[in-house]
Structure 1
Amino acid sequence: MPEVVFTGPAGRIEGRYHPSKQKGAPIAIILHPHPQFGGTMNNQIVYNLYYTFVNRGFSALRFNFRGVGRSQGSFDHGGGELSDAAAALDWAQSVNGDARTCWIAGVSFGAWIGMQLLMRRPEVEGFISIGAPANRFDFSFLAPCPSSGLFVHGSEDRVAPVKEVMSVIEKVKTQKGIQIEHAVVDGANHFFDGRIEELMQTVDGYLDKRLGKPDEEAA
């Protein structure tokens, strides 16, 4: 799990990067929760998502948004963080010249940033959005949503209640050729405290369906 430093719009960005051994492997970018509420690339869900993609043969990158950890700059209410995410994808593509596709995974605030990045980058072919805060941020830009993916919420999420994101999901589900799935982890709160294992089982089940099981990928 090598530490990496690359240049973002606000200066240095620190990350953790795991290159795939497979030529032409896809890229995965994982985006952490809100920087002003303790979100970092070491968030437990981010960490688990990172290794889920590593185990499927992806070249995976997680990083700290500006102003978090050793990343330079300061919080920019989403605009700068989206630029950071774009810079992260640019960097990952620069060291994976053979990669043709990419997945984006985001947690809470990171889900909002990730979906915006997806709208701007046609090479993103799938997404995982966990605890998408549709009650706090505007997701109306997802019309149409260009890629299929999975939204996951906890049934006891008080920060971003399930019902708030359902209207967003129902809207983007209508896009021709795009399949948006939604899963609810029973008993889980916004941070999936004590329910991360169930969360990752849900994510892995979805990725198995889209990509095949990890051992098949590595074979």
Structure 2
Amino acid sequence: MSRHCMIPGPAGNLEAMIDDSNEGSWVIFCHPHPLYGGSMFDAVLDTVEKAVAPLNLSTLRFNFRGVGSSDGEHDHGDGEVNDLVSVVEWLRQAKSPSAVSVAGYSFGSVVASRGVANCNTVSPVVLIAPPTSSMTLANDLMVPVRVIVGDADPFVDLPKLRQWQQHQHDAKIVTIPGADHFFGDQHQALQSATSAIFSEAPRL
């Protein structure tokens, strides 16, 4: 059962929902772009959380600065990276997890990649529909990275993404045929892909 809480962040408190019914490993979710209505209550994140629920993983969703009841203002990704780092550190101190993974969707995937670069004990990181046509992922990540994209997503530059893949320590791309950026009627495929990734995760 999820419950509401506030987590201290670099720009004030961050609104979060946590489900700590399972002990041990945790997954932190990063939501899509706040300026386009993104928040922790996103349908894609709902699907991803459903995928990990049967795997005995505890979950944490949070709103970036300036979203919902979180303090602060949108910072175009820079401050949001600091938000994520603060959430990871809070989780480590408050819950003593055996392992922590991060999953980000769209804008949240970019934040996740950059945040994990500053928290290299997080593993794996799952990037869902990273908008590589307009934003840049962190490079040279030393943790396992799993990417889920639809082959009909206009916001994902697949050739650019595959080139980026070559510069990572351990990166794999899962492509869902026919899926767009919002996964439309492909949420079951997204759920299956996510479940497979976390079932095989090296540290979870």
Task: State TM-score, norm by structure 1.
Answer: 0.86
Distance 1:21 1:157 in 2: 34
What letter matches 1:52 in structure 2? Answer: A
CA contact (8 A) 1:135 1:165 kept: no
Match of 2:156 among 155, 160, 164: 160
Amino acid in the other structure paired with 1:67: G
**Partner SS, residue 190 of structure 1:** coil
**Worse overlay, 155-164 or 120-129:** 155-164
Pick aligned residue for 1:205 from 173, 196, 203: 196
Query: Shift in Å at residue 196 of structure 1?
Result: 1.1
- Counterpart in 1 of 2:139? 142
2:152 corresponds to 1:180: no
- Residue 70 of structure 1 deviates from its aligned partner by 1.0
In structure 1, the partner of 2:41 is: 42
Aligned residues: 203
**Alignment partners' CA distance in 2, 1:93 and 1:54:** 20
Structure 1: 5+ residue runs without aligned partners?
none
Picking from 101, 107, 111, the partner of 1:109 is: 107
Q: Does the Cα contact within 8 Å between 2:9 and 2:87 map onto a contact in 1? A: yes
Percent identity for Structure 1 against Structure 2: 24
2:87 aligned partner: 88
Q: Using a 3 Å threshold, how does the CA distance of structure 1 residues 11 and 183 change in structure 2: closer, same or farther? A: same
Shift of residue 211, structure 1, vs aligned partner: 6.2
Aligned CA distance change for structure 1 residues 204 and 211 (closer, same or farther; 3 Å):
farther
| Residue identity in the other structure for 1:130 | I
CA RMSD, 1 decimal: 1.8
Corresponding residue of 2:55: 56
Residue 208 of structure 1: how far off its partner (Å): 2.2
Please give the per-residue CA displacement for 1:139-167, whole angstroms capped at 9, x wherever unaligned.
2x422x21112111111101223233111
CA distance in 1, matches of 2:114, 2:199: 25
Task: Tell me which amino acid in the other structure corresponds to 1:106.
Answer: G
